[in-house]
Structure 1
Amino acid sequence: MKVAAKRPHFDFDVESIRKDFPILSRKVNGYPLVYFDNAATSQTPQQVIDSIVDYYSRYNANIHRGVHSLSQEATDAYEQARIKIQKHFNAARSHEIIFTAGTTHAINLVANGFASLLQKGDEIIVSALEHHSNIVPWQMMCERTGALLKVIPMLENGTLDMQAFYNLLSDQTKLVFVNHVSNALGTVNPVEEIIEKTHEAGAAVLLDGAQAAPHIKADVQALDVDFYVASAHKMCGPTGVGVLYGKEEWLKKLPPYQGGGEMIETVSFEKTTYAGLPHKFEAGTPNICGGIAFGAAIDYMNSIGFEKIAAYEHELLEYATQKLLEIEDLRIYGLSEEKTAVISFNIGSIHPYDIGSIIDKLGIAVRTGHHCAQPVMDYYKIPGTVRASFSFYNTKEEIDVFVEAVKRAKNMLS
């Protein structure tokens, strides 16, 4: 099996990094925790936990509306977090960064906005590798507008059929939306090529960056992408907060997603005018603490360095791939040469749930099922997979424990 190209070697003190994560020292079912469900949610370092405690301990207040000191402190911290995220993704302007409740919320925001821009006969394109969150909102939008949803097919190795994609593009194409990285298979999609070809056709592109953002430092200006979405909880941050990046010209075209406080300029019973960006899309009291902690998580990951993270995780991917393929009848799904540290596999006819349940008893957390990517499983004609997903705080020793547990499960179930 091929995996991503060889990356530069960096000295990486994983044992020191692991000390930042309190949960990694606990036991599950009497065994040391081996957490390999990072594609679902990452663990949280003490530095981010401290930022949450600090907010609620010292300056918990509503933002943007108060003249008192606590409100001003909270507002400053929240807006500084927005700037941190802007700089991380290299957005041109801070008001192109919209705080959301997560990736799903961000996608729904854009889909709702495009419902006012599309008409019957317009076409939008999605890939066969998508998470349900990047399928269902667009299906709902098509039902409302009469737009047509077309699908880029996938190939046996877990990559997209790019020639089929070129053939799908037409004068009627208005939007293409694909994940930067597949959550089910770890495939890194050729997003630069997708964006370039889509723009040549006169359409916009949304990238679902939920699975890419923990591993790849996306530069939205270099990509020239129109929309990019991600979640904090996959980047060592808290749940319930995420980000939508949108080019200013597109965000101005989209109508508000929700009505209420903060997103208004003036309100009367005759007429309401809306606030400018980013507040136009941030109705109500936001997840203030979550936004601030998201900024702290960005700081933490950048202090380690994304190039170092990618190189180390690639080592883990290669090592785990080699060890797992030594198990008879084990099949790995997703053989792209470019992939992140995700391995989805099955063993013979054994149901993935059964393997996951047994190794959980040994303290090992993996994900089993269709991973909210049911079309991918339907393509392979399987009910689901066992998915082991690694992060920069995992170790080769943990992989050894995991592989031995999988062997034990196989022997029990065969």
Structure 2
Amino acid sequence: MKTFDIDRIRADFPILSREVNGKPLVYFDNGATTQKPKQVIDAIIRYYADMNSNVHRGVHYLSQISTDAFEVTRRKVQAFIHAKHEHEIIITKGTTEAINIVASCYGRAFITAGDEIIISAMEHHSNIVPWQMLCDEKGCRLRVIPMLDNGELDIEAYKSLFSERTKLVSFTYVSNALGTVNPVKEMIDVAHEHGVPVLVDGAQAIQHIAVDMQALDVDFFAFSGHKMYGPTGIGVLYGKEDLLNNMPPYQGGGDMIKDVTFEKTTYNELPFKFEAGTPNIEAGICLGDAIDYIQDIGLDAIKAYEEDLLAYATSRLSEIEGIRFIGTATHKSSVISFVVDGVHPYDIGVILDKLGIAVRTGHHCAQPVMDAFSIPGTVRVSLAMYNTKEEIDALIDGLKRALSMLL
């Protein structure tokens, strides 16, 4: 395992040296988006200063070097997640679009009236609404894996949901609202025993946990660049080659075609069939720099550091009288959600912000999760590799101060 140098890492993130409301910034909203290291920021500037041009379409020098850099990222993603082929890597604008591509394209090709799709009770809205839309359109049925009181999925109940009408399973690797790490390999294997493909939402896993498409044998995997220290507006859909080849394209336009006449259009090969129009070129290129940055530090080292940080934060927060943790699964990753008796989460978040401490409050785009716990929302502390125990101590001091004002 590589040596984890927290001081060097923090020095790479310019925003961490700024103040908010006259206080040093303490940033605990990493589940929403992560901050960017100077290596990624510099790469963004370098793209616009040195190579700005459209990709895949020009014979001139700038277009060629931009295209090469964009395709280098595709190969970096392939290696990072251990995909079999680089053309199985579809560049999207984020996890949400990636899931919608599968819902729209797989749904159009393989879902019919009366079919069933399985999702879980802990999903982000982005892994609920597209399937509801498909069910409304096709007349199919959504089935939901129930959740236990500790925020873990009921795996035995999951096994009982399958029928001859089940056509797809889609669930999150790590809950954005609870931090629960699901037993994804076991769940994938169960689905495959029934001959059913699986989509995994990896948005909250990719920056914390090493993933391997071959070991998981997952059919589709989606994630976003901005949650792994890269730019916003970029993401990835991984799909197995045969499934992607058999799915119709998501959008029509430039780059996703071979030939166009008014009578007929012939679609391009993978991955371009699913990449209509000019992509977010700068973000696509610089996602590669974010991957380089993570790999330079090492995901094993990041995981070990964050697990220690999570344990420390959980212990310190337990000191707060009246606190109730929402989501106490055995296996968690870098997220702590909580409520305090008699206090609205929003009020806590506002006061913490005055102290320079950024947390997320509300339902976290996971309203069914909040409904399951009969609460309107939580305070969510989501950790990243650049956070420290000293920042957690500042959070505890700030929380105590906020509660002294609110109770």
- Normalising by structure 1, report the TM-score: 0.97
Question: CA RMSD, aligned part only?
Answer: 0.8
Q: Deviations over 1:52-92 (max 9, x none)?
A: 11110001011111111111000000000000000000000
Secondary structure, counterpart of 1:15 in structure 2? helix
Q: Deviations over 1:265-321 (max 9, x none)?
A: 000001100000000000001111111110100000010000000000011100010
User: Where in structure 1 are there 5+ consecutive unaligned residues?
Assistant: 1-7
- Residue 115 of structure 1 and its aligned partner are, at CA, apart by 2.4
The equivalent residue for 2:320 is 327
> 1:95-106 alignment to 2 at 5 Å?
95-106=87-98
Identify which of 126, 139, 142 aligns with 2:132: 139
Identify which of 95, 98, 105 aligns with 1:113: 105
Moved over 2 A (4+): none
| Partner Cα separation in structure 2 for residue 56 and residue 342 of structure 1 | 35
Secondary structure, counterpart of 1:115 in structure 2? helix
- Confirm whether residue 256 of structure 1 aligns to residue 253 of structure 2: no
The equivalent residue for 1:194 is 187
- Normalising by structure 2, report the TM-score: 0.99
Identify which of 394, 397, 402 aligns with 1:401: 394
Amino acid at match of 1:316: L
Q: Deviations over 1:314-349 (max 9, x none)?
A: 111000100000111101111111110110001102
> 1:41-120 alignment to 2 at 5 Å?
41-116=33-108, 117-120=110-113
| Partner Cα separation in structure 1 for residue 213 and residue 222 of structure 2 | 11
Amino acid at match of 1:54: R
Secondary structure, counterpart of 1:328 in structure 2? coil
| Partner Cα separation in structure 2 for residue 65 and residue 339 of structure 1 | 45
The equivalent residue for 1:3 is none
Secondary structure, counterpart of 2:207 in structure 1? coil
| Partner Cα separation in structure 2 for residue 11 and residue 307 of structure 1 | 10
Amino acid at match of 2:189: E
Q: Please say if residues 210 and 231 of structure 1, whose CA atoms lie closer than 8 Å, have aligned partners that are also in contact.
A: yes
| Partner Cα separation in structure 1 for residue 105 and residue 54 of structure 2 | 28
Identify which of 161, 166, 185 aligns with 2:159: 166
Secondary structure, counterpart of 1:229 in structure 2? strand
The equivalent residue for 1:311 is 304
| Partner Cα separation in structure 1 for residue 392 and residue 219 of structure 2 | 38
- Confirm whether residue 293 of structure 1 aligns to residue 282 of structure 2: no
Q: Please say if residues 334 and 383 of structure 2, whose CA atoms lie closer than 8 Å, have aligned partners that are also in contact.
A: yes
Secondary structure, counterpart of 1:225 in structure 2? coil
- Confirm whether residue 152 of structure 1 aligns to residue 151 of structure 2: no
The equivalent residue for 2:175 is 182
- Confirm whether residue 15 of structure 1 aligns to residue 10 of structure 2: no
Identify which of 23, 30, 52 aligns with 1:38: 30
| Partner Cα separation in structure 2 for residue 229 and residue 82 of structure 1 | 14
The equivalent residue for 1:365 is 358
Amino acid at match of 2:154: D
- Residue 11 of structure 1 and its aligned partner are, at CA, apart by 4.2
| Partner Cα separation in structure 1 for residue 392 and residue 340 of structure 2 | 17
Q: Please say if residues 4 and 297 of structure 2, whose CA atoms lie closer than 8 Å, have aligned partners that are also in contact.
A: no
Identify which of 383, 387, 390 aligns with 2:380: 387
Q: Please say if residues 127 and 170 of structure 2, whose CA atoms lie closer than 8 Å, have aligned partners that are also in contact.
A: yes
Amino acid at match of 2:382: S
- Confirm whether residue 227 of structure 1 aligns to residue 223 of structure 2: no
Amino acid at match of 2:159: Y
Q: Please say if residues 171 and 199 of structure 2, whose CA atoms lie closer than 8 Å, have aligned partners that are also in contact.
A: yes
| Partner Cα separation in structure 2 for residue 104 and residue 376 of structure 1 | 18
Q: Please say if residues 198 and 204 of structure 1, whose CA atoms lie closer than 8 Å, have aligned partners that are also in contact.
A: yes
| Partner Cα separation in structure 2 for residue 125 and residue 68 of structure 1 | 48
Secondary structure, counterpart of 1:124 in structure 2? strand
| Partner Cα separation in structure 2 for residue 270 and residue 410 of structure 1 | 68
The equivalent residue for 2:338 is 345
- Residue 254 of structure 1 and its aligned partner are, at CA, apart by 1.0
| Partner Cα separation in structure 2 for residue 256 and residue 186 of structure 1 | 34
| Partner Cα separation in structure 1 for residue 211 and residue 122 of structure 2 | 19
Q: Please say if residues 171 and 202 of structure 1, whose CA atoms lie closer than 8 Å, have aligned partners that are also in contact.
A: no
Secondary structure, counterpart of 2:300 in structure 1? helix
Q: Deviations over 1:106-138 (max 9, x none)?
A: 000100012221111111100000000000000
The equivalent residue for 1:26 is 18
Aligned length: 406
